[in-house]
A and B are shown apart, each in its own frame.
Chain A
């Protein structure tokens, strides 16, 4: 059973850079192909997709965040890192990493499972 866990700071100051790490556990050793996305949920509960990274290092970003967002693989094969620059109070949200679902041989773009999420507050 695949699980994901987000880690990083709970509080960042305006203009600072946010770095979050997603650690995947339970991946079968013979699973070489995967997709992971980062999403966030505002205090008002709206869900927003931020970006995606694939096993072959293909990356896709939300146009609204493209200039500030980088998603990369971590030092471990089982880690994905989000970097969001120039943080603003409007970026206050719970950040989730998610694995994209699969249906047999098909890699989909629905999200399962989700990490528990990490609440990041942007405040001076």
Chain B
């Protein structure tokens, strides 16, 4: 199985500041056939199901604000929020969609400082 480890487990950032969340896979999730890395990011707010932010590591889902961006390739990935807004308080998960069983990181809890 592909093990995904996120860092940090939690962080507190001031409004308007930049946020960086990392996700590391135990094996490469890069597909040389289409030059894509098969990683997704989700945001989960309290009492709600997770909501897709990004897939193929850096493709933003329709409707997701452009302050959210994804980067990385192979085994190391980053979700960046360029300017933190109050509504971004949530838990963020990464997920590999390269092969079954699809697996998730343990989550990163983002709070306002």
Residues of A whose CB lies within 8 Å of any CB of B are 37, 45-49, 52, 60, 62-64, 96, 101, 103, 108-117
Q: Which residues of B contact A37 (CB under 8 A)?
A: 102
Beta-carbon nearest neighbor of A94 in chain B: B49
Residues of B whose CB lies within 8 Å of any CB of A are 1, 38, 40, 42, 49-52, 55-56, 59, 61, 91, 93, 95, 97-98, 100-104, 106-107
- Chain B nearest CB, measured from A113 CB (Å): 8
Are A109 and B49 closer than 8 Å at their CB atoms? no
Q: Which residues of B contact A110 (CB under 8 A)?
A: 40, 52, 55, 95, 97
Q: Is the interface of A mostly helix, strand, loop or mixed?
A: strand
Those 8 A-B pairs whose CB atoms lie nearest each other, nearest first? A109-B97, A114-B49, A112-B52, A110-B40, A110-B55, A47-B104, A49-B102, A62-B101
